[in-house]
Amino acid sequence: MGANTTNPILIRAVGAVIALFVARFLYRGYVQRSRVRALKAQGIPVLPHSALFGHLRVLGDWRAENPADANFYSFHTWLIKNCRRYFPDLDFPPPVVYLDLWPVEMPLAMVYDPVAASQFAQAPSLPKLALAKDFLVPLTSGLDIVSNEGAEWKTWRSRFNPGFSQRNLMAMLPELIEEVSIFIAQLEGLAGGGGKWGPVFQLEEKTTNLTFDIICRAAVGMRLNEQIRPESGPLKLALLDQIRLMSLGANAARALPLGRMPWHNAAARRNNKVLRDLLMPQIQNKLHTDTNESQVKTIVDLAIKYIDKDDPNATREKPNAAFVDRLIANLKAFLFAGHDTTAATICFMIKLLQDNPECLAKLRAEHDAVLGPDPSRAADVLSESPHLLYLLPYTLGAIKETLRLNPLAATLREAPAGFSLTAPGSSIRYPVGGWGVWLSAPGVARNPSYWPRPDEFLPERWMVPEGDPLHPVNNSAWAPFSIGPRNCIGMELALIELRIVSVLVARRFDIEEAWDDWDMQKQTKATPHAKIDGQRLYSAGDGIVHPKDGMPVHVRLREHVPAV
């Protein structure tokens, strides 16, 4: 009898909870959809919006017209090319493009104007979006400088700045050149004999091993030798698996980004234990070794100097546990950020130089003029005269153009209620409070109001004087490392790496994409849909950008003829 009376009550209670959940879900959807309609009512241009689907149909258009593995980052350039389709009165997207993807993803306000971008990333510099911080939690538990805010961020950023300074990195130049020289030897081994093309291989695999070796050496002085290992070592394997777990659900382009599941937590804990067990001895060694002024100092060496600042009782023999935890968390963040994007950028730089042979010829001529006519001597010349690395303006221009056309990092900020953005030439105020504010680096980098001939690869634009028609109009429009006080701390290291690679590679090798050989090796045939803008190479992957299929290439040795 009691059971019979209890069951209906229980059923009604469960039904009430479900009804409450559904009502709350629908109400949130109604509120979000209403916000976009309110924007439109104010005369703010918005993408075609559905009361039921929001902007999911626009995302569906992008999804249908691009390869299944295209990275969401390419949505920006796709929207630029299809601007008239969605904004009939505009040749370029408005300064702020609202994207209502509820319930798949949080609403985004994508900023395509550098002046508007500076209003939230520079002055003021708004807090990082919780979603962006959550991405790093499996790796750093939120203890890294990307996730930190306020005084905590300022303190730890200042502790790591000396390690990433130009002065300190240039002191490491011989070590960095040594690692790139191993990369050169790898390419030589893959080149065909007698000036012929060698077998197809994935360039990104080689560049990833290179940048991983470099960041580990610069950060803690570890020589991992990933470039010459027959198989990846435990530190790299653990980090790559952790990045895989971090990327789960990070691509809003997928129809159902499920995200990280509870059973992934055990794998994340195992990976973190491996990383800590391998990094901790390196830190302990640094703690017990007081480097003198003449020694090359790693990023950790310089950060350890602050060991007693948080705890006056802490010493090198008995460090504060919280200090060490933050040190390890930031090291893991540096290892992640310091290898992935630079490895991909090397690939895209080689691609752009391949597609623009006249630019490659100018770059090679600059290397002949500054470093001497013998490419095999370039590493020695740089080691003996490091300042020459900064006397290569065309090379730097090629690097900056690569990063402009293929920016790989993103900054997402959280705007308070009532916060809005403005752009030159318009009286419209764009409300962004409650939206994830995303600096669209691909968007600002191709905005024709700031970039003459925005879609062209023109290293010369970085060499012309101010006032020249080709000169960049606004510094904030170049944002591959973000802008403002929270820009990427590793920018100088990345630019140095890219300079060294270009100097040691460009005159010794021809490198070309080898898709036919790749298809033959994989026994597949590409479809017309497996391209973006007619190119087999595009930005692929969930979350982190990677060149499609790791950029299959082949290599041949050049018979160098110095430029006259």
Write the pLDDT tens digit of every residue in 434-484.
999 999 999 999 999 999 999 999 999 999 999 899 998 888 899 999 999
pLDDT band at 549 (very low <50, low <70, confident <90, very high): very high
Tokens of 235: 């530190």
Q: Is a pLDDT exceeding 70 seen at residue 5?
A: no
Give me the pLDDT at residue 562, please.
62
Write the pLDDT tens digit of every residue in 99-115.
999 998 889 999 999 99
Give me the pLDDT at residue 257, please.
47
Q: Among residues of the chain, what percentage have pLDDT more than 90?
A: 76
- What is the mean pLDDT of the segment spanning 119-143? 92
Q: Is a pLDDT exceeding 70 seen at residue 240?
A: yes
Neighbours of 464 (CB within 10 A): 14
Cα–Cα distance for residue pair 501/522, rounded to 1 Å: 29
pLDDT band at 426 (very low <50, low <70, confident <90, very high): very high
488 is in an annotated binding site: yes
- What is the mean pLDDT of the segment spanning 70-92? 96
pTM: 0.93
Which residues, 6 or more positions from 147, have their beta carbon under 8 angstroms from its beta carbon?
Answer: 128, 133, 136, 137, 140
Write the pLDDT tens digit of every residue in 284-325.
998 888 766 557 899 999 999 898 888 888 788 888 899 999
Give me the pLDDT at residue 561, please.
59
Give me the pLDDT at residue 249, please.
57
Q: Provide the residue ranges of all domains of the chain, joining segments of one domain with +.
A: 1-128+410-479
Q: Is a pLDDT exceeding 90 seen at residue 228?
A: yes
Torsion angle defined by CA atoms of residues 301, 302, 304 and 305, in that order, rounded to the nearest 10 degrees: 130
Write the DSSP assignment of 96-143 as a string of letters: EEEE--TTTS--EEEE--HHHHHHHHTSSBPPBPHHHHHHHHHHHTT-
Give me the pLDDT at residue 253, please.
47
User: Exposed, middle or buried by CB within 10 Å (0-12, 13-18, 19+), for 402?
Assistant: buried
Cα–Cα distance for residue pair 365/398, rounded to 1 Å: 13
Cα–Cα distance for residue pair 179/176, rounded to 1 Å: 5
pLDDT band at 270 (very low <50, low <70, confident <90, very high): very high
- Start-end of H helices in 288-356: 299-304, 321-355
Q: Is a pLDDT exceeding 70 seen at residue 348?
A: yes
| Bridging pattern class, strands 411-414 and 420-421 | unpaired
Write the pLDDT tens digit of every residue in 551-563.
999 999 998 656 5
Mean pLDDT taken over the chain: 92
pLDDT band at 522 (very low <50, low <70, confident <90, very high): very high
- 459 secondary structure, DSSP code: G
Give me the pLDDT at residue 402, please.
98
Neighbours of 96 (CB within 10 A): 29
